[in-house]
Amino acid sequence: MSETTARPCWRKRPVRNILIIALFAEIGYAMLNLVTMPVYLSVDRQFGTAVIALVMVTFLLFEAVFKSITGHMADRFGTRKLMIAGPLISVGTSILSIAMPHWGGAPIETLAFILLRALDGIAVAMLWPAAFAQMNAVVDDSERQQAMSYLNGCYMIGIALAYPLGGFANDLTGTRYAGIVLAAILFAGAAIASQRIASPAKPMTDEHSSGLQDFVDSLKQIPEYLILAFVTFMGVGFPLPIFKLFLGAEFNMSESAIGMLILPGALAMAAMSGVMARLGERLGRIRAVHFGLLLCTIGVSIIGLGAFLPFMRHIAFLALGGLPLGFGFLLTIPAWMASVSDINPEKRATNIGAVMTAQGIGAMIGAAIGGTLYEKFQPLGIQLRLGVSFGRYSPFVGCAICVILGWLLSLKILHEPKKTEALPTEHEMTVEASEAEVGPEPEIIEPVIAHEEPTAAHDLFHIGPEGVVSHANDETHDSPKQ
């Protein structure tokens, strides 16, 4: 029994299977939507930055809206079906993204990519709430926060590997769509691996509930988490559609070079995910959120200052700010998700889906604003004599403002629960119950006697009506002489 308890949860086969699926899927989604799609739409499809941002906002919008619905579906019908269907949908959207005829960025082409990214949003919404719920079902309560950190580590590793793999694939083939093909292969692998997992949770018994109603219920139960999720991920959304374009334009980096820049830091943060989870357990979940968001605030502020301070427009400052930013999210998200999953074990996927919906809505709004700032503020930077780099860094300024606001909100609305008096032990409860039945023992009042050995003076004392020892004659007498 002790050996089983001491065994790290990632060494358990059900946990490893979920981690592999999550890793494959995240590499695929990051490679498709963050790494390859912006450059592919810009170079091969001749889309403008604002249109690219619109396409990505569509992906984020459908991901956000459908996560509550798919979380409800996972609770009701089981997680396995959704973990298979989600990646399979993205296999189809990846292939269609390449096979779509080139119309030079015509409205019909833009509409087609908006619809494809909408399907991608639904697909990822199927996968992640189901994966988190499945992980919660196969680990003990004491392992939950640690398991959440491993899933979060897969997210970081997925992003870390997506940039170099997608960049190398495109550079080696001389195309801008090789990364999309590789993403489709990874989606197929995730779908095949999902067929091997079981769905231990029983379906929901409430057949009249809906995903929308469940989201409303979660909004009432965990409003503070949803507010924090919305605000902080709105900040995340600001640089999301332009990050790779920013690195290429500001630092003249190739796709391979961008991948090699991101890989070491992201892998280091992924390797530290277990350590950060243990630190979060020592701090407590609320303090972990506070401290984690503080680290994020420091990191993104360092990057955002490049908009105003030209000497900070260097790749070293970007890497310097990225470290506390990454570690902060590693500390915050596991504590967040573990707390949400504990609210109602029968609706874990629903509550997690609600949080992810708030995150997605925030990221969607941030991405729409960030793409516009990146394009429109470059001429403004020239007018302000700060250069075009002012516009390129402006999404990071918006990110910093949102993350700082999220940190302040966490200090205001999230507090550790007050300590309550310890409950009586089972033995104490048994004794109290016995006394209640039999009644308390009668108090025995003994007369106070002199310190000398008993003598005839003992007969002179008696107990008064108030229980006070007095002398029969109210006078002080010494012991009679022999």
Per-residue model confidence as pLDDT tens digits over 341-363: 666 666 666 677 778 788 888 98
In a domain, 430, yes or no: no
Q: What percent of the chain has pLDDT over 70?
A: 77
Q: Is residue 247 located within the same domain as residue 337?
A: yes
- The boundaries of the domain holding residue 449 are 444-482
Cα–Cα distance, 287 to 231 (Å, whole number): 18
Distance separating alpha carbons of residues 347 and 476, to the nearest angstrom? 81
CATH code, domain with 287:
1.20.1250.20
State the average pLDDT over residues 434-454.
49
Pair 360, 61: CB distance under 8 Å: yes
Please tell me whether residues 364 and 481 are part of one structural domain.
no
Distance CA 44, CA 66 (A): 30
Instruction: At 117, list the tokens.
Output: 């990214």
**Beta carbons of 170 and 180 less than 8 angstroms apart:** no
Residues 170, 176 contacting (CB under 8 angstroms): yes
Task: Reduce the DSSP state of residue 461 to 3 states and report it.
Answer: strand
Q: Output the pLDDT for position 195.
A: 87
Residue 235 clears pLDDT 90, i.e. is over it = yes
- The DSSP secondary-structure symbol of 385 reads T
- Answer yes or no: is pLDDT of 445 > 70: no
- Identify whether residues 82 and 142 lie together within a single domain: yes
| Same structural domain, 357 and 470 | no
pLDDT in tens, 308-319: 999 999 999 998
Cβ neighbours for 89, distance < 8 A, ≥ 6 positions apart: 119, 120, 122, 123, 126
Does 431 have pLDDT greater than 60? no
- Segment 158-183 shows an average pLDDT of 88
Nearest in space to 122 (alpha carbons), one of 154, 162, 95, 82: 82
Mean pLDDT of the residues in the chain:
79
* Better pLDDT: 374 or 196: 374
| Same domain as 229, residue 337 | yes
Q: How confident is the model at residue 368 (pLDDT cuts 50, 70, 90)?
A: confident
Q: Is pLDDT larger for residue 404 or for residue 217?
A: 404
Q: Do 46 and 175 have their domain in common?
A: yes
Burial of 397 (0-12, 13-18, 19+ CB in 10 A): buried
Length of the chain: 482
pLDDT confidence of 228, banded at 50, 70, 90?
A: confident
Residue 210 has pLDDT above 60, yes or no: no
Give the model's pLDDT for residue 6: 52
* pLDDT tens, position by position, 178-203: 999 999 999 999 999 998 876 554 44
Residue whose tokens read 């083939």 = 173
pLDDT tier at 474 (50, 70, 90 boundaries)?
very low
Q: Tell me what pLDDT residue 339 has.
A: 67
Instruction: Point out the domain boundary residue: 367, 390, 413.
Output: 413
**% residues pLDDT > 90 (the chain):** 29
Count: domains in the chain: 2
**Mean of the pLDDT values across residues 81-100?**
94
**CA 67 – CA 208 distance, rounded (Å):** 19
Among candidate residues 29, 241, 39, the one with its CA nearest the CA of residue 154: 29
Per-residue pLDDT at 224: 76
